[in-house]
Chains A and B, each alone.
Chain A
Amino acid sequence: MPEAVARRRSSIAAWAFSRGARFAADWDIFIVVAVLGGVFGALFTVQPVMMGLKMLTEEVLAPWLSLTLFNTPQYTALISRIIVEIVVAIVVLKFFVLSAPLLIWLERKVSGHIQSRLGPMHVGGFHGWLQTIADGIKLISKEDIIPSGADKVLHTIGPIMVVVAAITGFVVIPFGNELVPRDFNIGIFYLLAVTSVSVFGVVVAGWASNNKYSLLGGMRSAAQLVSYEIPRGVALVGVIMLAQSLQMSSIVNQQSGIGASEPFVAIPYVVFQPIAFIIYVIASIAETNRAPFDLPEAESELVAGFHTEYSGMKFAFFFMAEYGEMLLFSCVATALFLGGGSIPFVEGYIYAWTNGIFESMHVPFLIGFWHFPVFIIKTYVLVFFFIWVRWTYPRMRVDRLMDFSWKILVPWTFINLIGLGIALLPQFQPVGIWVFAAINWLIVGGVLLKAFKK
């Protein structure tokens, strides 16, 4: 490209961007109100729209298709399912893609206020809400540098593997009642398998960069992720034992009481499994490479760890994957321990009550419309906790990190598992599980008391 043309083109892009930014700054209040309103509205409409769509395809589209194009019923069923699932896939992808910039903005604001500063304040006018978008544009337009001596193919594959592992995990998340993109009967198993793929991406990226810091970062990361995979996986086994199922929707329904013959007090599994929940959250922080476990990208030691040699959009992929994983692990914790989109303890009664009303009003797709927003609120409380921890604690040392996983978390998960197994024996029912929960909470209270005592 001739220089003059390049300059002109870049100046046009700069002009367009500055005009856009100025427009956003001028109308910021309206835009923010519209965006917030849209997001808030979308939260409450996702569930009804999806259920309505399902009903529409099953009751209207399928008969119509069978009349016109296909006579065989298998094809009709297949096509209507494909349509529904394409929409679901788009919803999931949008959830990931829209959440990453929001989370990055949130992290910058929260960290700013923790550190007695304001965080981004200018881009877009209202509290810098466009900051991540502007950063994204900057990263996309940056040159993609592959260092000489690096393995070009693997250098490209690394970030893709990481980001794909983060996205595909969302497939089994039960966002709400019947709002599960793909409700495998081995949901938890699938989740654990898919999320551990990101280790390979990190190792590949570290190795392919041809940089000693990257290599050290990648190796550290491999050791760390593999050792924290075990307590994380074993902590979930307790939930599987309680629910006697690997299917995400069935686990959530057993905590909320949906599908039960009569309403009962909905108890989230965190009541029975507080130790497992805490271990799961700690291991999740380690899995997402965030402080205090951010050794693979320890800035003060390894420059930027495995992504030292990455620039532009490839770097943004690592960044997005980190936030995507954070969101994913929060979603999983919400679904498995906090009862998903249900309102704790009273869900069974509310559900039964509203069910009757909506049935009589002939709007069955409104049933459980609060599930998605409640799920999101629970998830973001956990996300806030992740951010809070990151900006409070120093980094652990490598050997201590390993000690912590193998000598503290792993034994405790197994103790918890054995205890739960004993408590679930038929001869101890129905008191056993409550005694077990009480012991669990006593241990948690003791640890907390010890931690906060001066």
Chain B
Amino acid sequence: MSAAVDEAKAAGKRIKLEEMYLNMGPQHPSTHGVLRLGILLEGEVIIDTIPDLGYLHRGTEKIAEDRDYMQIIHLTDRMDYLAAMNNNTGYVMVVEKLLEQEVPERAEYIRVIMQELNRVASHLLFFGTYGVDMGAVTPFLYGFRERELVLDLFEMVCGARMTHSYMRIGGVAEDLPSGFAEECKDFIDYFLPVVDEYDELLTYNPIFMDRTIGIGALSKDAAIAYGVTGPMLRASGVPYDLRKDEPYSVYDKFEFDVPTGENGDCFDRYFVRIQEMRESCKIVSQALDMLPPGKHQAKTSRIIKPPPGEAYLEVENPRGQLGYYLVSEGEPMPYRLHIRPPSFVNLQVLPDLLKGLKIGDVIAVLGSTDIVLGEVDR
């Protein structure tokens, strides 16, 4: 439409255009939580987008200054509530870094298993909701069906299905229950063929490919410039994964690939996540085989008082790099905890990606960034 308008203007015709302001959210079926987008439209073409945040702001960082180090673990559960295990791990690791606390090897392996299972669960939810965003309701239920099995595994381990608070400073809360390894292997055996089924159902569907390929492409340079991380960055063709490039925990002992895209469009962002589910399964089955015997929890002092100082640590979350910056003054409570949420940083790109697209593509692009508002607002 805008091309036609430009032509008409070049021909010297006077055209009066009226912009339309469309308010999308905070109550809208597919803004994935309470995100509000102010969209300026020219017909159905987007000329500007203004994301409005803060509807889910709970002041996690401020509350953390008023809690002791153990109590903060459950606050991190509620940030990215779809990847609570990963959030927990990042937090306890930054405290351990400050404490210079050793962690038993068995606990490290359990942490890896939990993180990767949670990555699978998180990407499954993405698969389902992205299907709904694209108008296919059925994948949503399939995604949830499989996610349910992962949640059952979590329930087996720690009793909770969403807000686990399973990690502890110096280890994990409890050892793996008996029979967990078999259940987990059964799940992986069941799950890997199901991912191929997803590919047949949705990924290679011509309509789906038509709607996502070439839409909202994010170039390599722009992705790096914006500080985008996680599957979004890898979809743009940058094979950067903390688990591979700066391995923390015991990630250097596993063999896995880092799937990357080429164009950084919606399809690549989607497909990178689908492939990551397979890689995560690979890591989980390797970790189960290599799981060493021993203790699951190191001895720590009852009241944790890290020495004065500061530490920064990043872990690879399902949505990107989650960073914790912790400042201690030797008190039982931290002086400052700052969180670098991947969703928040990834959301910055949205107005740039949406410019010039159609209103129907808003959801395609927004869904492919896979943000969790609990983490954006904290």
Residue numbers of A with Cβ under 8 A of B are 111, 114-117, 212-213, 216, 291-292, 294-295, 298-301, 303, 391-400
Enumerate chain B residues within 8 angstroms of A299, measured Cβ to Cβ.
29-30, 135
B208 within 8 A of A: yes
Can you identify 8 A-B contacts, CB atoms within 8 angstroms?
A: A212-B22, A292-B207, A300-B29, A393-B136, A394-B202, A394-B205, A396-B210, A398-B358
Report B262 CB to chain A, min CB distance, Å. Answer: 21
Q: How far is the CB of B45 from the nearest CB of chain A, in Å?
A: 11
Across the interface, which residues of B come within 8 angstroms of A298, CB to CB? 135, 360
Give B364's nearest chain A residue, CB to CB. Answer: A397
In angstroms, how far is the closest chain A Cβ from the Cβ of B362? 7
Within the complex, which residue of B29, B134, B142 is in contact with A395, where a contact is CB–CB below 8 Å? B134
Which 7 pairs from chain A and chain B are nearest by CB? A395-B135, A300-B30, A394-B136, A394-B134, A115-B141, A394-B135, A394-B208
- Knowing A300-B363, A301-B362, A399-B358, the reply to whether A292 touches B138 (Cβ < 8 A) is no
Classify the interface of chain B: helix, strand, loop or mixed. Answer: helix
Complex Cα distance A396/B363, Å? 13
Contact partner of B44 (CB less than 8 A), chosen from A216, A294, A394, is A216
Specify which of A116, A291, A303 is in contact with B145 (CB 8 Å cutoff): A116
Residues of B whose CB lies within 8 Å of any CB of A are 20, 22, 28-30, 44, 131-138, 141-142, 145, 202, 205, 207-208, 210-211, 358-363
- Of chain A, the residue at the smallest CB distance from B361 is A397
| Cα A303 to Cα B205 with chains together (Å) | 24
Residue contact A400 to B210, C-beta cutoff 8 Å = yes
Partner among A216, A303, A391 whose Cβ is within 8 Å of the Cβ of B359: A216
Q: How far is the CA of A399 from the CA of B210 in the complex (A)?
A: 11
CB < 8 Å: which of A111, A213, A300 contacts B133?
A: A300
User: Which residue from chain A places its CB closest to the CB of B367 in the assembled complex?
Assistant: A300
Q: Tell me which residues across on chain B come within 8 A of A111, comparing CB atoms.
A: 137-138
Q: Which one of B132, B134, B211, B360 has the highest number of Cβ atoms from chain A below 10 Å of its Cβ?
A: B360
What are the residues of chain B within 8 A of A294 when measuring CB–CB? 135
Q: Do B208 and A398 have beta carbons less than 8 Å apart?
A: no
Q: Which residues of A contact B210 (CB under 8 A)?
A: 396-397, 400
Q: Would you give the shortest CB distance from B225 to chain A, in whole angstroms?
A: 29
Considering the complex, give the chain B residue whose CB is closest to the CB of A219.
Answer: B44
B363 x A392 contact (CB < 8 A): no
What distance in Å separates the Cβ of A49 from its nearest Cβ neighbour in chain B?
A: 42
Cα distance A292–B358 in the bound complex, in angstroms: 18
B174–chain A nearest beta-carbon distance, Å: 33
- 11 further interface pairs, Cβ-Cβ under 8 Å (given A216-B359, A300-B30, A300-B135): A111-B138, A115-B142, A291-B136, A300-B363, A393-B205, A394-B131, A394-B211, A396-B210, A397-B358, A398-B44, A398-B360
- Given A301-B360, A301-B363; A115-B207 close (CB under 8 Å): no
Given known A-B contacts A394-B208, A397-B360, A397-B361, A116 and B135 have beta carbons under 8 A apart: no
Contact A394 B207 (CB under 8 A): yes
Beyond A393-B205, A397-B210, A398-B358, whether A300 also contacts B136 by CB under 8 A is no
CA A212 to CA B137, docked complex, whole Å: 25
Given contacts A116-B142, A291-B135, A394-B131, contact A301 B359 (CB under 8 A): yes
Residue of A393, A394, A400 with most chain B CB atoms under a 10 A cut-off = A394
| Distance in angstroms between the alpha carbons of A391 and B44 in the assembled complex | 27
